[in-house]
Every structure is written in structure tokens, then in C-alpha cells.
Amino acid sequence: MWKKIIAPGLAAMLVIMMSVGVAFAGDVIGIIDSQRIVTHHPRFEETARQLQQMMRQKEEEARRAVAEESDQARRAQIMQMMRMEAVRAEQSLMDPIYRDCQEAVRVVARARNVTVVLESSSVYFGGLDITEDVIRQLNR
């Protein structure tokens, strides 16, 4: 369930962080576990509950709308519209959390003189793990 909620945002966060560029000699490379950071955001649990409630509501609305429709093509169209509405609602709820996490990463990276931040799952060896510092920054 959590992976469905945070996966799109994690991908966006990773792309933004990767756009920093390639590390050069003398650069300090920081690594983070962005999934852990997002799930430790102070508003994550409440937002996740809101998302679950919203998803249940959208599923119920879709079931009712589909049950009233006899045309198979129209049923598929209704389901697609409901999925799109759910995705937009999820983005609007999660975007503030992703922005907070990105800002916390920037603040910690600057404070620790980190010039490049990568997702820890992409790094086989080395790097300064700043995940805990970012979580502390978020909880201030």
C-alpha cells in the first residue's frame, strides 16, 4: 500500500536529485533513503489515512457508476476517469510532503557541505548517509 502512495513521488524526487550532475573529485556525495524520509514526515500518517479513505470513496463511486451503465466501452471510460481523479487527488495530497522532504534534503546537504545527493539504493559503496539528519530536519 505505501509503495503505491509514495512511488510516483519518489521517482520525481530521485530525478530532481539526480539532475544535480555528476560528482567531480572533491565533491561530497550524500546518500538518502527517500522512502524512509517520506514515511517519517510528520504529516505522512494522516495523509496516508486520507488517501485510503479517498481511494475507498472513489472505488465505491466507480462501482455505482459502472453498475448503472450497460455499455462496456462506457464502463471502461468511467473507470479510467475515476482512476485519473484518484491520481490527481493523490498528487495534491502528497505533493506538499514531497516538497517538504526535498527542502529538508537541500537544507541538510548545504549544512553538511554535500554537493551531490543520490538515492542510497543506487549507490553500491561510499557516500555520506544523511537520511537521519533529513528526518530530524523534517521534524523540527
Domains and CATH numbers, the chain: 2-138 (3.30.910.20)
pTM of the model: 0.72
Asked if pLDDT for residue 11 goes beyond 90, the answer is no
Three-class SS of residue 123? Answer: coil
pLDDT digits (tens, 9 = 90+) for 92-102: 999 999 999 99
**CA-to-CA distance for 126 and 16, rounded, in angstroms?**
21
Q: Pick the closest to residue 115 from 28, 16, 22, 26 (CA basis).
A: 28
**CA-to-CA distance for 19 and 61, rounded, in angstroms?**
40
pLDDT digits (tens, 9 = 90+) for 77-122: 888 888 888 889 889 999 999 999 999 999 999 999 999 999 999 9
Average pLDDT of the segment spanning 10-18: 54
Average pLDDT of the segment spanning 16-21: 48
**CA-to-CA distance for 136 and 42, rounded, in angstroms?**
10
Check residue 21 and give its pLDDT.
47
Check residue 45 and give its pLDDT.
95
Q: Do strands 128-129 and 29-32 pair parallel, antiparallel, or not at all (unpaired)?
A: parallel
Contact 98, 12 (CB under 8 A): yes
CA 132, 1, 85, 46 torsion-angle sign: negative
Transcribe 34-72 into DSSP letters: HHHHHHTSTTHHHHHHHHHHHHHHHHHHHHHHHHT---H
**CA-to-CA distance for 78 and 83, rounded, in angstroms?**
9
Write the single-letter amino acid at 56.
Answer: R
Check residue 2 and give its pLDDT.
56
pLDDT digits (tens, 9 = 90+) for 29-74: 999 999 999 999 999 999 999 999 988 888 888 888 888 888 888 8
Check residue 6 and give its pLDDT.
63
